[in-house]
C-alpha cells in the first residue's frame, strides 16, 4: 500500500503496513484459525499469502510460517486435529532434506522433487475445494427455489384400526409360540472330568495312585462298556473290572458315554502320556494301540 492508498492515519502518519509485533488476542486468533478446513487448507492459504520470489527453498519459508501458526494454535489451546501435527512433521522433514547437502545427481537423472507429493496433494485438494464452492453457488432448493408439493391428506391423524377378539387371541398365541423359540438353555457343570478319568485309567492299569484334582481320593471303579452296549468289546475286554497291565485303546472307549465321554477319555490318555504315567505303543503299524503303565 502506498501513502496515497493508506486507509488510516496513526499519529499523523499514513498507515500502510501492519506492525511486526502486532498482538492478536487469542479469541480473534481462534476464530481465524478455526476457519481452516485442515492442514491442506491452511497450507494453500499460506502459499497464496506468501508472494515472495519463488526459489527452491520457498517451501522452507512456508513451512516456517506453518509451524508458527501451529504453535500459535497450541498456545491458544485449540484442539488440534492430529493431521495438523502430521503435516508439521512432514514439512519439517522436507525442510531438513532441503537443508542437507545433497550428493550430485547422476548425469541423466532428474532428482525427484521432494515437494512433489505434497504439491500433488495440495492441487488435488484445491480442485475439490473449488468444486465445493461451485456447488454452493448453484441455485439450490430451500434457498433459491422451493419444491412445490401438495401435502398428502393423511397428514392429520390416521384412524386407529379396529381389532376383534379373535385377532387378539391369535396374536397372543403367536407370541407364545415365538417365546418358546427363545428358551434358555442352562449349561450344567461338566459331568465327566478329565482328571477323574485319568485316575480311573490308572486304576485299571493297576496303579492305585490318583491324579491330583480328580476329586475325592476314591474314584469309582469304572468299567468301560458296562452299560451294555457290547460294541467294540473283545475277549480281552472280558477282563472287566480286573486290573491288567496293559489295555487296548478300544477297551477304554465307551460309545454309550457319547461324544463327551470319548473326548474325555482321549484327553485323559493324552494327559497321562504327557505326564509320562502311561505309555502308548503299537506292535506294528495299523495294529491296535495299547496302553500300559510306564
Binding site for other proteins (CB under 8 A): 31-33, 35-41, 44-45, 47-52, 54, 56, 58-59, 79, 81-83, 87, 113, 115-116, 119-121, 123-136, 138-150, 152
Instruction: List the one residue out of 188, 187, 186, 200 whose CA is nearest residue 264.
Output: 200
Q: How far is the CB of 107 from other proteins (least distance, A)?
A: 20
* Angle, CA of 182, 186 and 190, to the nearest 5°: 150
Q: How far is the CB of 28 from other proteins (least distance, A)?
A: 9
Q: Which is nearer to other proteins, 126 or 271 (CB)?
A: 126
Residues 217/199, Cβ–Cβ less than 8 Å: no
Q: Which is nearer to other proteins, 4 or 79 (CB)?
A: 79
Q: In angstroms, how far apart are the furthest CA atoms of the chain?
A: 124
DSSP 197-255: HHHHHHHHTT-----TTSSSS-PPP--TTTTTT-TT--SGGGGTTS--SEEEHHHH--G
Q: Which is nearer to other proteins, 97 or 120 (CB)?
A: 120
The residues, ordered by sequence, that sit 6+ positions from 273 with a Cβ below 8 Å of its Cβ are 279, 280
CA torsion angle 249 255 256 258 (round to 10): 110
Q: How far is the CB of 179 from other proteins (least distance, A)?
A: 35
The residues, ordered by sequence, that sit 6+ positions from 202 with a Cβ below 8 Å of its Cβ are 208, 209, 210, 211, 272, 277, 278, 293
Q: How far is the CB of 215 from other proteins (least distance, A)?
A: 49
Q: How far is the CB of 104 from other proteins (least distance, A)?
A: 20
Q: How far is the CB of 46 from other proteins (least distance, A)?
A: 10
Amino acid at each position: 500500500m502506498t501513502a496515497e492508498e493508506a486507509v488510516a492515519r496513526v499519529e499523523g502518519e499514513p498507515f500502510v503496513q501492519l506492525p511486526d509485533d502486532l498482538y492478536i488476542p487469542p479469541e480473534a486468533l481462534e476464530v481465524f484459525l478455526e476457519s481452516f478446513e485442515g492442514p491442506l487448507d491452511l497450507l494453500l492459504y499460506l502459499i497464496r499469502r506468501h508472494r515472495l520470489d519463488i526459489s527452491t527453498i520457498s517451501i522452507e519459508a512456508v513451512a516456517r510460517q506453518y509451524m508458527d501458526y501451529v504453535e500459535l494454535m497450541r498456545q491458544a489451546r485449540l484442539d488440534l486435529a492430529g493431521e495438523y501435527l502430521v503435516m508439521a512433521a512432514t514439512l519439517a522433514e522436507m525442510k531438513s532434506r532441503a537443508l542437507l547437502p545433497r550428493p550430485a545427481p547422476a548425469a541423466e537423472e532428474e532428482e525427484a522433487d521432494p515437494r512433489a507429493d505434497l504439491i500433488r496433494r495440495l492441487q488435488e485438494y484445491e480442485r475439490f475445494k473449488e468444486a465445493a464452492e461451485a456447488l454452493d453457488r448453484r441455485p439450490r432448493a430451500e434457498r433459491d427455489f422451493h419444491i412445490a408439493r401438495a401435502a398428502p391428506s393423511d397428514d392429520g391423524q390416521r384412524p386407529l384400526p379396529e381389532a376383534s377378539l379373535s385377532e387378539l387371541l391369535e396374536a397372543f398365541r403367536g407370541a407364545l409360540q415365538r417365546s418358546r423359540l427363545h428358551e434358555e438353555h442352562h449349561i450344567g457343570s461338566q459331568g465327566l472330568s478329565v482328571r477323574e478319568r485319568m485316575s480311573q485309567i490308572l486304576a485299571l492299569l493297576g496303579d492305585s495312585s490318583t491324579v491330583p484334582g480328580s476329586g475325592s481320593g476314591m474314584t469309582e471303579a469304572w468299567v468301560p462298556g458296562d452299560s451294555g452296549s457290547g460294541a467294540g468289546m473283545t475277549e480281552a475286554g472280558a477282563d472287566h473290572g480286573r486290573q491288567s497291565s496293559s489295555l487296548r485303546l478300544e477297551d477304554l472307549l465307551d460309545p454309550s458315554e457319547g461324544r463327551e465321554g470319548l473326548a474325555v477319555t482321549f484327553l485323559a490318555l493324552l494327559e497321562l502320556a504327557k505326564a509320562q504315567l502311561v505309555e502308548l505303543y503299537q506292535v506294528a503299524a495299523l495294529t491296535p494301540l495299547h496302553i500300559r503303565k510306564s
